[in-house]
Amino acid sequence: MLRGVARSQYGRTLAVGGMGALGAVVGSMVLSDRERQVQCEADGGEAKSPSTVMGILSDIHEKLGRIETAMGVSETTPIKPAPVASFQLPPSPGAKIDVVLGAQWGDEGKGKLVDILSQEYDVCARVAGGSNAGHTIVVGGTKYKFHLLPSGILNEKAMCVIGNGVVVHLPSFLNEIDSLTIPGVEDRLKISDRAHLVFDFHQQVDGHLETKLGRHKIGTTKKGIGPAYASKISRNGLRVGDLQNWPYFEQRFRSLAEHHMNSFEGLEIDVEGQLEYYKNISNRVGKLTIDTIEYTNQAYADGKKILVEGANATMLDIDFGTYPYVTSSNPSVGSVLTGLGVSPNKLRGIYGTVKAYCTRVGEGPFPTELEMSVEGTVGHHLSSVGAEYGTTTG
């Protein structure tokens, strides 16, 4: 296992595990280069094997089905019909929500997989977490860096949704949009009115808490994720939609800033400067802000294909991960329901991505570690060939 500089770039080997009823890894594929269109559409080879990623996933699904059948737990095993079955509405034809999650400690290559898959979906969504450490996607020689936007934004036919479970640092979010040289991005982007805001002072507090922890630090990204979720849970946070009611926003912001200055000695917040900034961007943000719960459910009812791009990974889950060395949200499947506002029976495929070796950023338990800095070692080889260097963290 590798620790330290693990961040996603692409051109690596992925093992993709079908996370069906067995939660087993049943297949693998090699996503070998940066030409996703070639991967997606024109893999023409001798092909007994499927030529598209969707084909590969169907193949995996089929294999999983066979394993399940062999173990006697197949979906096709006759199940006594439940008496209330008639209450279950079948999904509209073509409708589905598929989910790609990280099944290790993050940086398994979700972005690459999602980038390829998203070409075939109508809506791509983020449901939890905040600006993560980021990944780079190269299309036609142009590099795009993503931290918060779903990488589906590169599919010019897809709508992108930032769900209510996400926490958003608007200055970084707007910079990320501005850095994309793709026309009409803001016409295809919707952000939930319920998504909570990460303020600069949340980021300062994140750094301060890490410093205070000293050698017991969590190794956070210092993007203010934990402190912003803390404000959400303390019920004194602000949400994206609050910007559209300026007197309310101003009053809540002053009170939240004061609360933080009282709680963290030495913390200084330029309250007037921040208010001016947020007032200036409120119109721009307002045009992107909607009730994404209604939007997503309507899209589902209209038969649209929806893809959820998970952030972080299961072992960083606040409930299921290696607490306290975790992030502050639920990167596992539960957050798709709560962070997008959809019911469980709307989910179809749930795919966990894994790497052949593990990497971890930050602190926390990691049973076997490889030396990465010494040339000639296995760790050094894996980290250089696997390009385990980050968009943010290097």
Which residues are catalytic, by number?
232
Please write down the HEC assignment for all residues of 193-245.
Answer: CCCEECCHHHHHHHHHHHHHHHHHCCCCCCCCHHHHHHHHHHCCCCEHHHHHC
Residue 219 binding ligand IMP, by CB under 6 A: yes
Residue 362 binding ligand IMP, by CB under 6 A: yes
Strand (E) or helix (H) holding 257: helix 246-263
Q: Which of 243, 257, 361, 370 binds ligand IMP (CB under 6 A)?
A: 361
Q: Which of 125, 166, 170, 225 binds ligand IMP (CB under 6 A)?
A: 225
Complex with ligand IMP: residue 338 or 393, whichever CB lies closer: 393
Q: How far is the CB of 106 from ligand IMP (least distance, A)?
A: 3
Complex with ligand IMP: residue 171 or 219, whichever CB lies closer: 219
Q: Which of 68, 98, 107, 309 binds ligand IMP (CB under 6 A)?
A: 107
Q: Which of 9, 39, 192, 312 binds ligand IMP (CB under 6 A)?
A: 312
Stretch that binds ligand IMP, among 179-187, 222-230, 233-241, 381-389 (CB under 6 A): 222-230
Q: How far is the CB of 315 from ligand IMP (least distance, A)?
A: 9
What amino acid is encoded at 136 in this protein?
Answer: T
Distant-in-sequence, close-in-space partners of 182: CB < 8 Å, separation ≥ 6: 153, 154, 156
Cβ 147 vs Cβ 392: under 8 Å: yes
Q: How far is the CB of 68 from ligand IMP (least distance, A)?
A: 31
Size of residue set near ligand IMP by CB under 6 A: 19
Stretch that binds ligand IMP, among 84-92, 320-328, 336-344, 375-383 (CB under 6 A): 320-328
Cβ 331 vs Cβ 128: under 8 Å: yes
Task: Label residue 303 left, alpha or beta by phi (over 0 means left) and psi (-120 to 50 means alpha).
Answer: left
Distant-in-sequence, close-in-space partners of 253: CB < 8 Å, separation ≥ 6: 199, 238, 271, 274, 275, 278
Q: Find, among 343, 345, 346, 354, the residue nearest to 310 by Cα.
A: 354
Q: State how beta strands 135-139 and 142-146 pair.
A: antiparallel
Q: Which of 278, 325, 351, 357 binds ligand IMP (CB under 6 A)?
A: 325
Complex with ligand IMP: residue 151 or 312, whichever CB lies closer: 312
Distant-in-sequence, close-in-space partners of 346: CB < 8 Å, separation ≥ 6: 91, 95, 96, 97, 300
Distant-in-sequence, close-in-space partners of 193: CB < 8 Å, separation ≥ 6: 164, 239, 240, 241, 244, 289, 290, 291, 292
Complex with ligand IMP: residue 246 or 323, whichever CB lies closer: 323
Site for ligand IMP in 111-140 (CB under 6 A): 132-133
Q: How far is the CB of 389 from ligand IMP (least distance, A)?
A: 12
Stretch that binds ligand IMP, among 110-118, 216-224, 270-278, 283-291 (CB under 6 A): 216-224
Cβ 146 vs Cβ 134: under 8 Å: yes
* Residues in contact with ligand IMP by the rule CB under 6 A: 106-107, 132-133, 218-221, 223, 225-226, 312, 316, 325-328, 361-362
